[in-house]
Structure 1
Amino acid sequence: MILKPLADRVIVKQVAAEETTKSGIILSSAAQEKPQVFEVIEVGPGGLVDGNEVKMVVKKGDRVITGKYSGTEVKIDGEEMTIVRQSDILAVVE
């Protein structure tokens, strides 16, 4: 199944959690902190949203940070993804 976001929507997928600490300690799955970094999977076309012209700034493959409780979580073909508005993206990670 293919998802195509509309207007200013962006589909993101959470980046895998770190399995070891910086000092090399291996973490159990319960101790792993859920990362707030997402990879952009697909980007909508932008256009007119609520009477304002929206230009899409993010692109497919970017790593971004979103608001903690923003977006709608969906499960497609066994993969968990989140659909957010571009305005819910707080930063691009470089």
Structure 2
Amino acid sequence: MAENVKAVPLHDRVIIKPAPSAEKTAGGIIIPDTAKEKPQLGIVVAAGPGKKDEPVTVKQGDKVLYGKYAGTEFQYEGQQLLIMRESDIFAIL
């Protein structure tokens, strides 16, 4: 489960903790940092209330799939997090 974050996103924004990148391939080859792909999976840490006529459908603790280049990375309380619009999320897994 994701750790609690005291930050509250506004409107339709969502804060996500990205899943860690793979360290090895299935064959056991170690992947260097420069060749790792950005993760596309994460856990929702906090969600805003939504827009006036559109409430946010994701909630804290949901595992989600989002676009590779979606969101803005930031560091908060020692954690690497992403903030993005709910529309950048493709699916709840």
TM-score interval w.r.t. the shorter chain? Answer: 0.7 to 0.9
User: Does residue 3 in structure 1 map to residue 7 in structure 2?
Assistant: yes
Kindly name which structure, 1 or 2, has the bigger radius of gyration based on alpha carbons.
Answer: 1
Aligned pairs (5 A) from 1:53-92? 53-92=53-92
**Two-structure CA RMSD over aligned residues (Å):** 2.0
- Quote the sequence identity (%): 44
Deviation at 1:29, TM superposition (A): 3.6
Task: State the 4+ residue runs in structure 1 displaced beyond 4 angstroms.
Answer: none
Q: Deviations over 1:23-45 (max 9, x none)?
A: 34443444433321121111111
Query: Which of these residues, 17, 22, 26, is aligned with residue 22 of structure 1?
Result: 26
Structure 2 residue runs of 5 or longer lacking an equivalent are none
Structure 1 residue runs of 5 or longer lacking an equivalent are none
Deviation at 1:87, TM superposition (A): 0.9
What TM-score does the superposition give when structure 2 sets the normalisation length?
0.76
Hey, what's the Cα distance between the residues in 1 that align with 2:83 and 2:71? 5
Cα contact 2:38–2:68 (8 A) shared by 1 = no
Q: From the two aligned structures, give the one with the greater strand fraction.
A: 1
